[in-house]
Amino acid sequence: MAVRVEAIREVREPSRWIRAVRDFCRKRPLGAIGAAVVVLMLLVAVTAPWLAPYNPVTVDFGAMLAAPSAKHWLGTDAFGRDVLSRLLYGSQTALIVGFGAALIGATAGAVLGVGSAYFGGRIDLYLQRLMDIFLSFPLIILALAMVAILGNNLPNLITAITIPMIPRCALVTRSSALAIREMPYIDAARAAGFGHARIMLRHMLPNVMAPYLIMLTAFLGQAILLEASLSFLGLGVQEPTAAWGLMLRGAAVEFAEAAPWMAVFPGLAISLAVFAFNLFGDSLRDALDPKLRTL
Amino acid sequence: MTHRYRESRLILAGCLALSLALGIALTLPAMAQDKPRYGGELVFVVPSEPPSYDAHQEETFGVIHPVAPHYSLLLRVDPFDKTGTKPVGDLAESWTISKDGVTYTFKLRKGVKFHDGSEMTSRDVKASYDKIIFPPMAMKSLRKGAYAAVEAVEAPDPQTVRFRLKWPESSFLLNLASPWNWIYKADTLAKDPWWYEKNVMGTGPFKFVEHVRGSHWVGKKNPDYWDKGKPYLDGYRAIFISSSSAQVAAVRGERAMIQFRGFTPADRDSLVQALGPKITVQESAWDCVLMVAMHHEKRPFDDKRVRRALTLALDRYQGSQALSRIAIVKEVAGVQVPGTPWATPPDELAKLAGYWRDINASRAEARRLLKEAGVPEGFAFTFKNRGIPQPYEPLGIWMIDQWRQIGLNVKQEIIEASAYHPMLKRGDFEVAMDFQCGFIVEPDLDLGRFLTNSDANYGKHKDTVIDDLYVRQARAIEPEERRKHLRALEKRLLDEEVHVLYTLQWHRIIPHSSKVKGWTITPSHYLNNQLDTVWLSQ
């Protein structure tokens, strides 16, 4: 009997991941709300073709500048395109650019940071000065310069947003990796004759995962904001593609008084997405940072 | 009966007299309003600054708007002609044209003085036109090509100027009314041909006071202006504001009375809503048009069936109605601005490809042509557009949607404004937006770009028939003959070969303070800026 009770307990005991999620939600409700919004955004982006009531690029001159109604829940733009449909499809653009840029930027930054810390000496010196040069430019200015050089299509836009993120992540991961470099197990790996790549990838990178994840979530919000800013300036995604920043420019500015819904809803979407990623990122940092965890 | 009849006649006469008195009483103030009033300073916004002060070398309205009031022309476009195509004398008092059409003789006004007090003579006119047509080495003259027919400019006596042409040219007289051809002083040009780049001195209705770069330009009344009684204004102040929202705010806040280039429909509506009767709106078809260049050396645009399909897809009539609410475009037009002497009548226009009234039939034909040319459903290409909001962006969105409706999948690439022209010149495109803005509506000036050897033939078509028709229309003296050649050229350009694709004519909207009188809108924002006829009602 006792054995059976033990067995049931074992079955009912939730997995480590579920426990972690449950703890996260309980201890950090704001972060959980952020995470929920992020998950919702992901779902919306994936299901946009089924959710959107209209084709986001179809011009309908019969419905130009229509106010929100039962037919068009969030109204239409100056070309009669449904604002809700463009918002839903716009989430795809935001997340593709956001995840693309943040993932590549944070990963490249982490590899460079770990490499810089591991090799030290002149390599570290030159790499860090290079990072300092990049860091001396504001994020938006560097992205603008990149778009001007590369041209403004989607892959170039992701590249332009990625490049300014690399040095920021490299700096953070380097400081963590510097401490790890001095650990006995790294010395042991060296003594065992492991190659540089194996030591860095197998033994150092996994140990900088916490700052990496924090930077990644922080960059997601920034990348979405940067994409929207560049698109608003006409340097990002191009019409007729649905993108939140793009929805804020042109006719949305000209008709801001007569048709405020054209600017209000995409503006809200950008704010909500960035806010959600920031909340989630902050809470994740609190949860993963051992110093904060002990406080 | 007689008494009653007399009584009713008396009552009728009384009523008539009363109505007459009332009519006069009501009309008088209006008549007084129409009589020019002297005094006041006209304040207007200029969206860009003059790169130099020499109009012979410049091509931006940023020079014309603030600087033109200081100068006179040999001929000018009638400031009250809404078509902007009627030449009248400015410094020329009268003129004769020889029977063979190759000698134009102008008699100049007497007593015209430069702002330095010296007298203007035919030497000055000759020197100015020599600078334009035969510029000194290393000096650019943007419009010398427009005077290729001129063999010589002569000044046989101080009051006479003669132009001898190599061949007759029907547009020559109107071409002399070009707003860029300011008359400079011969002695000054002889000393330094570049003097006018940085200095101002003409015979115009206003004298130069100051130019503060980035801020304003000020002119004051020329008391010695040749047209006695003019100008009506004491002076003018041009304020430079590049941001369109700030321009609208300046007019709305009554810090400026007018901006001579044009506002968008949304700006117009917001100004009318805010200022009511304090604002007067003048509108006109604008001598600017966006065209689509299709690269004739790139497949499948080397096939005229594909080019024809692209134009057939556009519902210009619906586009005109809808886009005119949000963009500075409106009229459906052929190669000339509607309402001007050489414009295509609507019935004839409707016969050209892309102008059919039945859009379903038009798109069905477009699909058939694409299929016949082997272009598959969903065929993708990139449309390059210029990074300027109005009207490039709305027109780009509209066209991409129209092309989508015949099964084409078009991606738009926006090129930054300064890099756009070099891109067109390099031919680095499949399909791209092309643009033209004229200063006078005249076929010779507007159609030269479609000649095979023209620098502006970005699509790189080779068509000797177009070349021949252009020369024929340019040299036709009889209007009917010229019209016939023009229609043939237009049909070949837009219908048979579809070398380019015209979108919609721009639409010029000038909402200005109701105080501003004596200014008439024309299809060109380069015309009618001498301000001698302008006055302020308050």
Q: Are residues B151 and B129 in the same domain?
A: yes
Q: Which value, in Å, is the radius of gyration of the alpha carbons in chain A? A: 23
Does A239 sit within 8 Å of B393, measured CB to CB? yes
Q: How confident is the model at residue B280 (pLDDT cuts 50, 70, 90)?
A: very high
How much is the average pLDDT of B427-438? Answer: 93
For chain A, the average pLDDT equals 87
d(CA B533, CA B538): 16
Q: Are residues B248 and B315 in the same domain?
A: no
Return the pLDDT at B4: 54
B149 domain residue, yes or no = yes
Smallest CA–CA distance from B400 into chain A, residue = A240
B262 domain residue, yes or no = no
Q: Are residues B314 and B460 in the same domain?
A: yes
d(CA B430, CA B459): 9
How much is the average pLDDT of B444-466? Answer: 91
d(CA B134, CA B153): 10
pLDDT tens string A194-242: 988 899 888 888 888 888 888 888 888 889 999 999 888 888 888 899 9
B11 domain residue, yes or no = no
Structurally, how many domains does chain B consist of?
A: 2
Q: Is B451 on the interface with A (CB under 8 A)?
A: no
The CATH number of whichever domain residue B421 belongs to comes to 3.10.105.10
Residue B223 clears pLDDT 80, i.e. is over it = yes
pLDDT tens string B315-331: 999 999 999 999 999 99
Q: Are residues B109 and B253 in the same domain?
A: yes
How much is the average pLDDT of B362-389? Answer: 94
d(CA B457, CA A257): 42
The CATH number of whichever domain residue B72 belongs to comes to 3.40.190.10
Interface predicted TM-score (ipTM): 0.79
Q: Are residues B296 and B228 in the same domain?
A: no
In angstroms, the Cα distances linking A21 to A24, A28, A215 are 5, 10, 20
Return the pLDDT at B1: 43
Going from the N-terminus, what domains does chain A have, and what CATH number goes with each?
79-288 (1.10.3720.10)
- The parts of chain A modelled with pLDDT lower than 70 are 1-13, 289-295
Q: Quick one: which of B187, B149, B213, B56 has its CA closest to B474?
A: B149
B278 domain residue, yes or no = no
Q: Is B388 on the interface with A (CB under 8 A)?
A: no
Select the residue of B266, B413, B414 nearest A255 (Cβ to Cβ): B266
Q: Give the mutation candidate from A144, A153, A238, A248 for the B interface (greatest B CB count, under 10 A).
A: A238
How much is the average pLDDT of B530-535? Answer: 97
How much is the average pLDDT of B68-97? Answer: 96
B303 domain residue, yes or no = yes
**B19 with B13: CB under 8 angstroms?**
no
**A38 with A46: CB under 8 angstroms?**
no
Q: Are residues B104 and B246 in the same domain?
A: yes
Does B325 sit within 8 Å of A250, measured CB to CB? no
d(CA A120, CA A138): 27
B17 domain residue, yes or no = no
Q: Are residues B231 and B248 in the same domain?
A: yes
B119 domain residue, yes or no = yes
Q: Are residues B296 and B373 in the same domain?
A: yes
Return the pLDDT at A66: 93
Report the run of H or E that residue A39 belongs to, with start and end: helix A29-51
Q: CA angle at residue B108 from B102 to B111, to 5 degrees?
A: 170
d(CA B512, CA B516): 7
pLDDT tens string B239-268: 999 888 899 999 999 999 999 999 999 999
Return the pLDDT at B180: 95
Q: Which domain holds residue B402?
A: 286-507
Q: Are residues B310 and B402 in the same domain?
A: yes
In angstroms, the Cα distances linking A180 to A123, A126, A198, A286 are 18, 21, 15, 21
Q: Are residues B193 and B129 in the same domain?
A: yes
Write out B19-67 in H/E/C secondary structure. Answer: HHHHHHHHHHHHHHHHCCCCCCEEEEEECCCCCCCCCCCCCCHHHHHHH
Q: Quick one: which of B163, B165, B160 has its CA closest to B124?
A: B160
B172 domain residue, yes or no = yes
In angstroms, the Cα distances linking A255 to A21, A260, B36, B216 are 45, 7, 38, 30
Q: Are residues B177 and B325 in the same domain?
A: no
d(CA B238, CA B200): 15
Residue B22 clears pLDDT 90, i.e. is over it = no
In A, which residues are within 8 Å of B414 by CB distance?
A: 152, 234, 238
Return the pLDDT at B197: 94
Residue B478 clears pLDDT 60, i.e. is over it = yes
Does B404 sit within 8 Å of A57, measured CB to CB? yes
Smallest CA–CA distance from B248 into chain A, residue = A254
Residue B162 DSSP class: E
Q: Are residues B448 and B523 in the same domain?
A: no
For chain B, the average pLDDT equals 92
